[in-house]
Chain A
């Protein structure tokens, strides 16, 4: 099945700086890649997603890039704020019949933004 690797596991930045989280996937057939933010005691919240027919997508301070050839995708957060502090997960959606729609998650990145 699909294998998703995520780096770094922890990331500390100063308020106002940018943060980048990187993920790789193994199944070249995967074609949907969501990112989730999980705060303490809460479930994962979808913050942005990208499909394989698009190389980049932006939503205000958040952007995601996808390199299908290299099988990696990244989350970019600009002008970070303390409220961005949380655990971020990348995921890839299975593309084959038996795995279609199933999300495979990375192990998460704990982002801390210092005021």
Chain B
């Protein structure tokens, strides 16, 4: 039973570029949440997708956008990259219904030069 998978594992971009990160949820899960984890910090919630719609959003600018596909997989897009966007981006999947356990992938390490 595959867990949450994310791609790519590492990515290097320059300021101003855009990036797309991908996530496949754990088998049977229908809800995907994205988190940003800066070095030495806890993950910060970006947004959550369910039924192909953004259901909740954290305190992140509109440069951060996402999408969920009919097979429940998801993408995170970041435009106009800034140096401060360098972080580990984590995807977590869960079942819909409020307080369901969230299971994380190993993340995509994004470095902005």
Name the interface size band of chain B: 20 to 34
Contact B101 A34 (CB under 8 A): yes
* Contacts across chains A and B counted by CB atoms under 8 Å: 67
| Complex contacts, A103 vs chain B, CB 8 Å | 33, 35, 43, 45, 92, 102
| Complex contacts, A36 vs chain B, CB 8 Å | 104
Given A34-B102, A44-B90, A93-B99, decide whether A105 and B43 contact each other with a Cβ distance below 8 A: yes
| Complex contacts, A102 vs chain B, CB 8 Å | 33, 45, 48, 56, 58
Contact B45 A46 (CB under 8 A): no
Given A44-B90, A107-B41, A107-B42, decide whether A101 and B105 contact each other with a Cβ distance below 8 A: no
Given A98-B56, A101-B56, decide whether A43 and B45 contact each other with a Cβ distance below 8 A: no
Contact B42 A106 (CB under 8 A): yes
Report the Cα distance A38→B64, complex, angstroms: 25
Q: Is B71 an interface residue (CB 8 A)?
A: no
* A71 → B minimal CB distance (Å): 17
List residues 3-36 of chain B with CB under 8 A from any CB of chain A.
4, 6, 31, 33, 35
| Complex contacts, A51 vs chain B, CB 8 Å | 99
**Of B41, B42, B103, which is in contact with the most chain A CB atoms at under 10 Å from its CB?**
B42
| Complex contacts, B98 vs chain A, CB 8 Å | 32, 93, 100-101
* A55 → B minimal CB distance (Å): 17
| Complex contacts, A45 vs chain B, CB 8 Å | 104
List residues 80-115 of chain A with CB under 8 A from any CB of chain B.
89, 91, 93, 98-108
Report the Cα distance A103→B33, complex, angstroms: 9
Please name 12 pairs of A and B residues whose Cβ atoms are closer than 8 Å in the assembled complex, sorted by A. A32-B98, A43-B6, A45-B104, A46-B102, A46-B103, A89-B42, A93-B98, A101-B31, A101-B48, A101-B56, A101-B94, A105-B43
Query: Considering the complex of A and B, which 7 residue pairs feature the smallest CB-CB distances, nearest first?
Result: A105-B42, A32-B99, A43-B104, A43-B106, A44-B104, A102-B45, A43-B107
Residues of chain A whose beta carbon lies under 8 Å from any beta carbon of chain B: 4, 6, 31-32, 34, 36, 41-46, 49, 51, 89, 91, 93, 98-108
